[in-house]
Amino acid sequence: MSSDIIKEYCGVVGVYGSNIASKLVFLGLYALQHRGQESAGIASSNGKKIYYYKNHGLVKDVFNEQIISELKGHIAIGHNRYSTTGSTTNFSNIQPIVINYKKGQLAVVHNGNIPNAHKIRIEMEEEGHIFQSTSDSEVVLHLIAKSKKSTIEEMIIDAVKKLQGAFSIIFMTEDKLIAVRDPRGYRPLALGKLKSSYIVASETCAFDIVGAEYIRDIEPGEMVVIDSSGVKSIKYSEENTRKAYCVFELIYFSRPDSIIFGEYCDLIRRKLGAKLYEEDPIDADIVIPVPDSANTIALGFSQRSGIPFEMGLLRNHYVGRTFIQPHQSLRDFKVLLKFNPIKHVIEGKRVVLIDDSIVRGTTIKKLAKILRKAGAKEVHLRIGSPPIKYPCYFGMDFPSKEELIAHNMKIDEIEKFLEVDSLKYLSLEGLKEVVAEEKKQSYCFACFSGEYYEKVDLSVDKDIFEK
Amino acid sequence: MSSDIIKEYCGVVGVYGSNIASKLVFLGLYALQHRGQESAGIASSNGKKIYYYKNHGLVKDVFNEQIISELKGHIAIGHNRYSTTGSTTNFSNIQPIVINYKKGQLAVVHNGNIPNAHKIRIEMEEEGHIFQSTSDSEVVLHLIAKSKKSTIEEMIIDAVKKLQGAFSIIFMTEDKLIAVRDPRGYRPLALGKLKSSYIVASETCAFDIVGAEYIRDIEPGEMVVIDSSGVKSIKYSEENTRKAYCVFELIYFSRPDSIIFGEYCDLIRRKLGAKLYEEDPIDADIVIPVPDSANTIALGFSQRSGIPFEMGLLRNHYVGRTFIQPHQSLRDFKVLLKFNPIKHVIEGKRVVLIDDSIVRGTTIKKLAKILRKAGAKEVHLRIGSPPIKYPCYFGMDFPSKEELIAHNMKIDEIEKFLEVDSLKYLSLEGLKEVVAEEKKQSYCFACFSGEYYEKVDLSVDKDIFEK
Amino acid sequence: MSSDIIKEYCGVVGVYGSNIASKLVFLGLYALQHRGQESAGIASSNGKKIYYYKNHGLVKDVFNEQIISELKGHIAIGHNRYSTTGSTTNFSNIQPIVINYKKGQLAVVHNGNIPNAHKIRIEMEEEGHIFQSTSDSEVVLHLIAKSKKSTIEEMIIDAVKKLQGAFSIIFMTEDKLIAVRDPRGYRPLALGKLKSSYIVASETCAFDIVGAEYIRDIEPGEMVVIDSSGVKSIKYSEENTRKAYCVFELIYFSRPDSIIFGEYCDLIRRKLGAKLYEEDPIDADIVIPVPDSANTIALGFSQRSGIPFEMGLLRNHYVGRTFIQPHQSLRDFKVLLKFNPIKHVIEGKRVVLIDDSIVRGTTIKKLAKILRKAGAKEVHLRIGSPPIKYPCYFGMDFPSKEELIAHNMKIDEIEKFLEVDSLKYLSLEGLKEVVAEEKKQSYCFACFSGEYYEKVDLSVDKDIFEK
Amino acid sequence: MSSDIIKEYCGVVGVYGSNIASKLVFLGLYALQHRGQESAGIASSNGKKIYYYKNHGLVKDVFNEQIISELKGHIAIGHNRYSTTGSTTNFSNIQPIVINYKKGQLAVVHNGNIPNAHKIRIEMEEEGHIFQSTSDSEVVLHLIAKSKKSTIEEMIIDAVKKLQGAFSIIFMTEDKLIAVRDPRGYRPLALGKLKSSYIVASETCAFDIVGAEYIRDIEPGEMVVIDSSGVKSIKYSEENTRKAYCVFELIYFSRPDSIIFGEYCDLIRRKLGAKLYEEDPIDADIVIPVPDSANTIALGFSQRSGIPFEMGLLRNHYVGRTFIQPHQSLRDFKVLLKFNPIKHVIEGKRVVLIDDSIVRGTTIKKLAKILRKAGAKEVHLRIGSPPIKYPCYFGMDFPSKEELIAHNMKIDEIEKFLEVDSLKYLSLEGLKEVVAEEKKQSYCFACFSGEYYEKVDLSVDKDIFEK
């Protein structure tokens, strides 16, 4: 993915039943930092009252020992988020959102995207509701508060049944932790156990960091309620709903050490690399990944092809977000801040450069140029997924269609634009073969194919709330 | 008032029609800093979109040139607020609150207290509304959003007619500034003009700092709408409503250089001091105020009595809020941090110590002791207002009845408790005489008399939302 | 002094013999905040090792409970300082300066100005010494380190005997506190006692805040050594040296509640006011001080003249240092941020406006204008000290001669420039009469008279180190 | 090296002749961030005056656009430093150190360690010099200032000739940049060119980030002077001095993309890996590095052995320094924060785990355990360098001998302690063979062999200045 940034909607964690619940959630968020670096928040409950704290920044910068100690109680939920910058930015969008409603207090963290949220919102505004953020989560809270059902579990089901799209949500009342996943299961959500506590998180790497054990995924269309009487599972959606696991979580977004949709994420990436070679066996001297996201795709490619795997680009991990401006005299500044070629590895070599995907193509173009300047004889670009041509309405924040290079150009045009010696994408067929025979029918490939498994009501413009 | 803190509900400012609207509001808030030191916020509009920024801290610390420059547009409103401390405190309570509703965006700042807000809130929660703060202002926004009326002006009137109690509110839509004052006029709200701009503020000292001219008060029961077509006044309440200007604004809360309820605040205080002497002519050597709030009461006392006015207590103005802990070995630490006696002034003197009011009595007790240690022969305490015995439901945040010393003790008991040679309060009658013959019928004296001019629905506990 | 800022060289505090030494020093610095608002620092020692912390900012902002607790030990010294701003400013200038030298560690805090410091410095540079700050204190440290004497007491005496000018210095070794005052005693330095601890400070108000008792001043030419064997006094200068107490400390700089040079500072100011009237009896309606520095001068004027004392200017104490820029459309912005006239007090009145001194005259000119706009019929300016015409080489940071209005204009020209109805300064003779018969020969009046009691070697330009 | 931290003494950069000199230095420091993460500083000169700014923190956090813009001029030097933490830490130790001395101003940044610095310092203290930091650099500045030579170049040579040990120093006067490397060349220092500017830096990766070209190393015993008349080289040491390049820079410390001592650092590491296999051919299923420092050693091992290279440990790059405390219930907390095993890669495999070196052994022990828990059948630990048994006096901050595991245990004991199936270190002979035939006589292997090429005067305890 090099540095064409995809902004996903967050990572979520919840813990029930630990006297260090907020600390465990903190650690979970820390492990999920890759899912959102702009803001972080934690809400906790001691059974009676909900406490919370949230702010702009990385998890490690937002929280300290003092704040964690003020987040009392045996239940806690947390959230990492991307957001736009600027000092006047809407603070209300940072999650958890904590509200009062007729039953008391309710906190929510949400990963996903709900395409009909804006439509519901406009309807509710017409009825006299007010909205303080531009997040889908607030819409969900309104739906719950409006429900005529009598228990919070029923109210939540009542609400989420009205939602389209992707949502992996964790709710917290004063005394319950409730996790819900949308009927198609676009975004991951897993259940774990740490001694007598339960933990729910976007990815299993959040379990590993606290030593918790992965039990199973929260199922698509399932609600799991955890309280003093234990764990209860409720299936709220129709049985035969076609699932739509986001295949992009496996390709790029999730951490390689996570189990996603029941798959070892990292293992899938190796297979993508192998398949990529099989589809177009090439003769070259070395295979180089764009670090770190394409590392194991490249490893798979190398192992299958026998072409030696090499680390030819060094990544600088100290990159901050608000950064000093480049100067016009400094060419390729932004790419060089992040990547430096290792000359002796590249010099005189026919290089296969592996990336997981291409969005705009601007960064990979510069990387290819840098490799050539470092002495590469040939640069063959291989992409571990098919061309991204279509927007995602379910939580992957691709740029608009117009900015997607594969939407605008054919592959040979892209090859020419990027100035590489050759360019191959993994075929959609190839991708499907990789992601497990038996599960092929469970994934969403819409950004590649344009085939959405859900009709999205886009009558209202997505950015309407931001004006 | 020495340091028995009364937490009032805020100061508000609004500006329409200036290309430096947010800077003018900033300066206004700066002049109103005494009305709330815990948080500050400004929202602005360029006619199309509302920008806002708010945070914990003093006005001068929350804002900087960069933030002010991002608060674009020709309309702006701002708010100073007190709030409880702690890092996990509800950020949502900081004002302005900015929402989306069926008509677009709406921002609000509010000074006052609405006793039936909690009741309305519970009703609305029952109907399915959610609340993100514990502030009355959010209730008002819900009422507006729910109104079936067609214009924002009508919707606001529809909403505020449902409210009891005290509210001086400034609303901002994308293109209008709307100021509303409750029918009894508990809290002040004044209208000023600066060239072609209009300015609305809690106190006229906010006009002085920007060189604006005081025009008149927003009347009790009046709504003033300022937009591109000019200034429009709407009377929305019944004509004969008994007014209830908070007399405590004059006694203590407002800045002495402000014109409040049409009165020179500072002038009233001098009269309080004169009357205080007249009611009990005493022979003494010097008159000393508790600085700074009782300064001109003491001046009035001195001028009327001929007893020399003296500055015998020095006040340290560098006091911060979050402060280093005292040590058990440091006696009278907290009072000494704020006040230091000037010995040569006090030594061997019969001192009349003047304060504006007594709440708990703990600080004034220590001050009297300090004066005696500094050599005062006698300490006669004179209070420029009657004993505070009753709670305020209209925005003056006295402690609970149980903590009010005059609720629990008779005057001679208080005298003994404070260990002063004599103690006299101004009589309620005396206070009434001071505050202008013709306006006597316009003030609220309830904290002294227990006579409320409005029936307050207290069926629901005030702190219910905070749990 | 209105807002023509005089930057003095600091306040100092030292404590020996308390298990909360650094906390006591913190409180002392807090009481001395008026002597320097730009940076603060504390060094402490547990008998073995010196700890220190210093930073830009007010005392209350630089320190917190955590830092104070890290400043361990039973000895501590501290410093408030003014300094120029800018992020690239020389941090090394913040005091205490802590060094290693042949005897171990040595920390120093310094109030005053040493005119021959630059000359000594250049000589020492020639010998091969290096300097990391531009402060005089570093020069003193070099002199001590170079001394061939055997004890630290002798080394310090050896060093300070080479110094001209003003210095009230507190040194701390690992196990001693040593206070030294220059032979003429330009700057104050007092000794106090708190139970079994000793405290040394620029002003006695630092004793009051911790409940310590004033014992006596450190005498001009005296060194006081406090260690485990008690308090030892050493006179190091010639007996008959003409003293030169800075009279400006009494007029303006010290806190009114301090005892300075054995005088009640506040009492002197009253006498200045009385004398000011006596020298030119005027008929007027009210007397108004420029708050807060001229408060008791005005009180003295009023009491002597019978003209009522009034508070006609309100001072805003929330003023910060780094402030939002004014806008060209905001007239008198900077003065209005700090002062607001109280109209009803001023309107139609013949006003005597009292200030302690005039430096440049720009602020007082604006204040006079503001009073007139507020309705004053006449504005008569009375200054509680003679015209400042000459530079101070001993610690009072007046602007250059060229900027001193009284250096450039005669009194009637100043009167015209300030646009006041009349202007009178206190005569030098009058000032001398006020400051105690028996002590008249002990003060320095050089800024008024040009008579310096010490020959100052100004062969090297003062700002040479700053380039 | 896993997380047994080696604290090296810093990275340095200097630029001459660019109108964005301080920005180029900033970028260079950013590329050298791995050499010190605790503090950063830059000094610049416009030919007349030296500006500087330094603070605790990462380069990206210490500087911003505003500060960089205040660091004016065409010359600049910068420094990254490790230091101990704590708010009361000696700020004076942060570099650059900027002083005034007889010739004007002088700024210095220093990488290395000077064993006789403390002895010189004590001698100078005896002569009356004072020291404000505990850094060797201040000693060098004193020596320069004391020199009787007439030009700064001569003075510097005069000074550095008195020094033992390791120093790569960059000086800046108002108008010159002067780089000096010690006669044995322990630490790297390279010279580059960017258009008409010159750049000097610890590692060539600082050239790459700004697009500069590597020219050559500053030679051991060479001083390079850059000013308006161009670049001048002076050899100041005896010709036949035995060089002593720190081999550990190649093994672990430098960035793999840097050219160090004329070698491609990354290439050497591959050879270390290959040699490691050759010395003890082992049969296993996979080779795993401790990321990132052992990555290419593992790659070399894999390529030579044919055992597949795998990424079995994922490293979290968001780790901050001041971190939330673990909880006793969280086992292996600190290792899990940084590394997570990828189970499917490890499960059932015979793993060769590669690290570059072992210091204390505590982290690698936990990593081995984690691998086993993740299902590794066998864990064979291979170390890309010989056992570290001896202290380094030349800038590599190993713990004390007592804490070095290889100082205390034989290899089979270490194997047992670490609970690995087998442990092999690279032999010293093997290491020597790798680092280039012709250069074997130029390296320092003392930490492995105990053979120092320089007699170190350790009569004074190293930590004497810290007490």
Question: Does D264 contact A342 at a Cβ distance shorter than 8 Å?
Answer: yes
Enter the ipTM: 0.90
Give how far A317 is from chain D: nearest CA, Å.
6
CB A332 within 8 A of CB D205: no
Q: Taking Cα atoms as reference points, which of A240, A259, A238 lies closest to residue A250?
A: A259
Q: What is the mean pLDDT of chain A?
A: 90
Span A198-214, average pLDDT = 96
Across the interface, of A49, A88, A99, the residue whose CB is closest to B131 is A99
Q: Is residue D254 part of a domain?
A: no
Span C383-390, average pLDDT = 96
Give me the pLDDT at residue D389, please: 95
Query: Is residue C461's pLDDT more than 70?
Result: no
Q: What is the DSSP string of D319-381?
A: --SS-----TTSTTHHHHHHEEE-HHHHTT-EEEEEES--SS-HHHHHHHHHHHHTT-SEEEE
Give how far C18 is from chain B: nearest CA, Å.
11
Across the interface, of C71, C88, C125, the residue whose CB is closest to D100 is C125
Give me the pLDDT at residue B334, please: 78
Count CB pairs under 8 A between chains A and D.
140
CATH number at B414 reads 3.40.50.2020
Span B337-343, average pLDDT = 92
Q: Is residue C275 part of a domain?
A: yes
Distance (Å, rounded) from C-alpha C305 to C-alpha C302? 5
Q: What is the mean pLDDT of chain B?
A: 90
Residues A190 and A300 both lie in one domain: no
Question: Does A257 contact D303 at a Cβ distance shorter than 8 Å?
Answer: no
Per CB-CB distance under 8 Å, the chain B contacts of A63 are: none
Give how far D88 is from chain C: nearest CA, Å.
5
Domain final residue pick, B241, B259, B287: B241
Q: Taking Cα atoms as reference points, which of B456, B391, B466, B395 lies closest to residue B113?
A: B395
Give me the pLDDT at residue B456, please: 76
Distance (Å, rounded) from C-alpha C447 to C-alpha C451? 8
- Determine how many CB atoms are found less than 10 A away from the CB of residue A194: 18
Give how far C132 is from chain D: nearest CA, Å.
5
Higher pLDDT, D453 or B295: B295
Question: Does A130 contact B465 at a Cβ distance shorter than 8 Å?
Answer: no
Domains in chain A, number: 2
Domain final residue pick, D198, D223, D241: D241
Per CB-CB distance under 8 Å, the chain A contacts of B49 are: 467
Residues C221 and C77 both lie in one domain: yes
Residues C274 and C193 both lie in one domain: no
Question: Does A128 contact B146 at a Cβ distance shorter than 8 Å?
Answer: yes
CATH number at D166 reads 3.60.20.10
Distance (Å, rounded) from C-alpha D287 to C-alpha D379? 10
CB D395 within 8 A of CB D36: no
- Determine how many CB atoms are found less than 10 A away from the CB of residue D402: 7
Q: Is residue C249 part of a domain?
A: no
Asked if B touches A (at least 3 Cβ pairs < 8 angstroms), the answer reads yes
Residues D81 and D210 both lie in one domain: yes
Q: Give the pLDDT confidence of B392-431 residue by residue, as tens digits.
A: 988 887 778 888 999 999 999 999 999 999 999 999 999 9
Q: Which amino acid is at D115?
A: P
Residues C25 and C142 both lie in one domain: yes
Per CB-CB distance under 8 Å, the chain B contacts of A93 are: none
Across the interface, of D23, D303, D314, the residue whose CB is closest to A255 is D314
Q: Is residue D388 part of a domain?
A: yes
Higher pLDDT, A314 or B459: A314
Give how far A354 is from chain B: nearest CA, Å.
42
Give me the pLDDT at residue B337, please: 85
Query: Which chain A residues have any C-beta within 8 angstroms of a chain B C-beta?
Result: 48-49, 51-54, 66-67, 70-71, 86-88, 91-92, 97-102, 105-106, 125-132, 134, 141-142, 145-147, 465, 467
Across the interface, of B127, B142, B467, the residue whose CB is closest to A130 is B142
Residues D401 and D303 both lie in one domain: yes
Residues D149 and D235 both lie in one domain: yes
Q: Is residue A456 part of a domain?
A: no
Indicate the pairing of strand B378-383 with strand B422-425: parallel
Per CB-CB distance under 8 Å, the chain D contacts of C126 are: 102
Give how far B42 is from chain A: nearest CA, Å.
10
CB C337 within 8 A of CB C316: yes
Across the interface, of A53, A100, A126, the residue whose CB is closest to B130 is A100
Distance (Å, rounded) from C-alpha A382 to C-alpha A418? 12
CB D199 within 8 A of CB D28: yes
Q: Give the pLDDT confidence of B36-72 residue by residue, as tens digits.
A: 888 899 999 999 999 999 988 889 889 988 899 999 9
Question: Does C309 contact B332 at a Cβ distance shorter than 8 Å?
Answer: no
Question: Does D209 contact A336 at a Cβ distance shorter than 8 Å?
Answer: yes
Domain final residue pick, C225, C241, C257: C241
Residues A180 and A93 both lie in one domain: yes
Q: Taking Cα atoms as reference points, which of D59, D165, D149, D152 lies closest to residue D99?
A: D152
Higher pLDDT, C243 or C462: C243
Asked if B touches D (at least 3 Cβ pairs < 8 angstroms), the answer reads no
Q: What is the DSSP string of B311-337?
A: --EEEPTT--SS-----TTSTTHHHHH
Residues C237 and C276 both lie in one domain: no
Shortest CA distance from D33: residue in chain A: A318
Q: Is residue A251 part of a domain?
A: no
> Is the backbone of residue B375 left (phi > 0), alpha (psi -120 to 50) or beta?
left
Give how far D130 is from chain C: nearest CA, Å.
5
For an interface test with D, give the residue of C46, C71, C88 to mutate (most D CBs within 10 A). C88
Q: What is the pTM assigned to this prediction?
A: 0.91
Query: Is residue C392's pLDDT more than 70?
Result: yes
Question: Does D70 contact C92 at a Cβ distance shorter than 8 Å?
Answer: no
Higher pLDDT, C135 or B244: B244
Share of chain C above pLDDT 90, in %: 77
List C-alpha distances in Å: C238 to C182, C225, C242. 11, 19, 10
Q: Taking each helix axis from N to C terminus, what angle separates B152-160 and B136-146, rounded to the nearest 10 degrees?
A: 130
Q: Which residues of D are catalytic?
A: 10
Subunits in contact with chain D (3 or more CB pairs closer than 8 Å): A, C
Number of C-alpha atoms within 13 angstroms, CB side, residue C78? 35
Question: Does B87 contact A70 at a Cβ distance shorter than 8 Å?
Answer: yes
Give how far D244 is from chain C: nearest CA, Å.
32
Give me the pLDDT at residue D454, please: 85
List C-alpha distances in Å: B439 to B125, B218, C307, C440, D61. 41, 17, 32, 58, 60
Give how far B104 is from chain A: nearest CA, Å.
9
Higher pLDDT, B244 or C334: B244
Higher pLDDT, A327 or B373: B373
Across the interface, of B295, B314, B323, the residue whose CB is closest to C311 is B295
Question: Does B309 contact C309 at a Cβ distance shorter than 8 Å?
Answer: yes
Q: Is residue B252 part of a domain?
A: no
Residues C103 and C149 both lie in one domain: yes
Lowest mean pLDDT among B296-310, C67-81, D57-71: D57-71
Place of tokens 């001048």: D232
Asked if A touches C (at least 3 Cβ pairs < 8 angstroms), the answer reads no
Shortest CA distance from C266: residue in chain B: B342
Across the interface, of A101, A126, A467, the residue whose CB is closest to B102 is A126
**pLDDT interval class at C3 (50, 70, 90):** very low
Across the interface, of C86, C92, C125, the residue whose CB is closest to D101 is C125
List C-alpha distances in Å: B430 to B361, B381, B384, B387, D465. 22, 17, 10, 12, 73
Question: Does A130 contact B147 at a Cβ distance shorter than 8 Å?
Answer: no
Residues C50 and C169 both lie in one domain: yes
Q: Which amino acid is at B84?
A: T
Per CB-CB distance under 8 Å, the chain A contacts of B158 are: none
Give me the pLDDT at residue B37, please: 85
Per CB-CB distance under 8 Å, the chain B contacts of C210 are: 330, 336
Give me the pLDDT at residue C334, please: 78
Query: Is residue B324's pLDDT more than 50?
Result: yes
Subunits in contact with chain B (3 or more CB pairs closer than 8 Å): A, C
Q: Which domain holds residue B379?
A: 268-440
Q: Is residue D249 part of a domain?
A: no
Residues C19 and C114 both lie in one domain: yes
Across the interface, of D70, D122, D146, the residue whose CB is closest to C86 is D70
**pLDDT interval class at A350 (50, 70, 90):** very high
Per CB-CB distance under 8 Å, the chain B contacts of A105 are: 467
Sequence-ordered list of residues with C-beta below 8 angstroms from that of D403, at least 6 positions apart, any chain: D359, D360
Q: Give the pLDDT confidence of C398-419 residue by residue, as tens digits.
A: 778 888 999 999 999 999 999 9
Question: Does D325 contact A205 at a Cβ distance shorter than 8 Å?
Answer: no
For an interface test with C, give the residue of D65, D118, D129 to mutate (most C CBs within 10 A). D129
Give me the pLDDT at residue D433, please: 93
Count CB pairs under 8 A between chains C and D.
97
Number of C-alpha atoms within 13 angstroms, CB side, residue C423? 24
